[in-house]
Each structure stands twice: as C-alpha cells, then as structure tokens.
C-alpha cells in the first residue's frame, strides 16, 4: 500500500504552503509525502524560514515550485489550498483527490516594521501548526 500524498497550494508558494509542508514532514515523517506549490511561484520568504527555524523546522532546502510541475505527473490524495486565490484557481488533478481549503491570512502581505511582520508570521505559523496537527489526527497520522 502506498503512502498518502498531500499537496499544499497557495499563490506564491513562499510562506503558508511551505510552512504546512514542513509541519507535515515534522509530525508525520515518512508516513506521508508532503509537497507544496504555487500558482505564481516566488522565492521562499526569509521570515517564513526564520519563524519555522524557531520551532525546529529547517526550511533551508525549500524552494518555491510551480503547480504545473505536478499536473499529470503525480497523483495527490489530498490537495489543500491555503488562500482564496488558490482555492478559486486550483487546477483539477486527475484521479480521486480530497480537496480541502484552509483560509489563512498571507503574512507576506502584512505591512509594518520587521518586528510586526515577524509577529504576523509567527501568528500564521501557529495557526498552520494547529491545522496540520488536527488534519493529521483526522486522517489517522497523528504522532
């Protein structure tokens, strides 16, 4: 039996989807294959890497990926969109797939001082952490 696969999708694949992928890998290890992608990929935001490092998730090897790289080449049992834009524009993946939507605020769009921006990234990181833990429990893969 093959292990489940999940794709986290957002607009830029720079923060929310990257953090969700990292948390799944942290909590479920090799029991699930987690990936992330964007509709308009950009660089992984440095604050995303910084706040994830604070909770023991090394994202130094993460890079932003285009969702089209996965279309037709991989089957995902789960596709989870983490922003309204990705939910509205999510492509159809072949085969049976459970689509979920986690509406999360984009921390990269937050304006303010660096300290305020970091606080917003931490807030969203903690929301993603809770969502990932809950979802893994629901599908029977909690640690």
Residues annotated as catalytic (active site), given as ranges: 10, 83, 90
Q: How far is residue 5 CA from its own chain's centroid? A: 13
Angstrom CA distances, 60 to 52, 64, 71, 72, stand at 10, 12, 25, 28
At residue 9, what are phi and psi to the nearest 5 degrees?
-125, 130
**Cα–Cα nearest to 69, from 42, 43, 94, 39:** 39
- For 34, which DSSP code? E
Give me 15's structure tokens.
């923060």
């Amino acid at each position: 039996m093959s292990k489940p696969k999940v794709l986290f999708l957002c607009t830029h694949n720079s923060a929310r989807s990257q953090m969700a992928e990292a948390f799944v890998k942290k909590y479920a290890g090799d029991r699930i294959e987690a990936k992330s992608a964007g509709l308009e990929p950009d660089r992984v935001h440095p604050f995303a890497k910084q706040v994830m490092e604070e909770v023991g998730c090394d994202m130094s090897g993460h890079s932003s990926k285009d969702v089209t790289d996965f279309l037709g080449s991989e089957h995902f049992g789960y596709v989870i969109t983490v922003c309204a834009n990705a939910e509205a524009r999510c492509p159809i993946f072949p085969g049976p797939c459970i689509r979920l939507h986690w509406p999360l605020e984009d921390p990269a769009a937050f304006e303010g001082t660096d300290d305020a921006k970091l606080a917003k990234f931490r807030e969203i990181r903690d929301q993603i952490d809770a969502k990932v833990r809950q979802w893994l429990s629901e599908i029977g893969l909690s640690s």
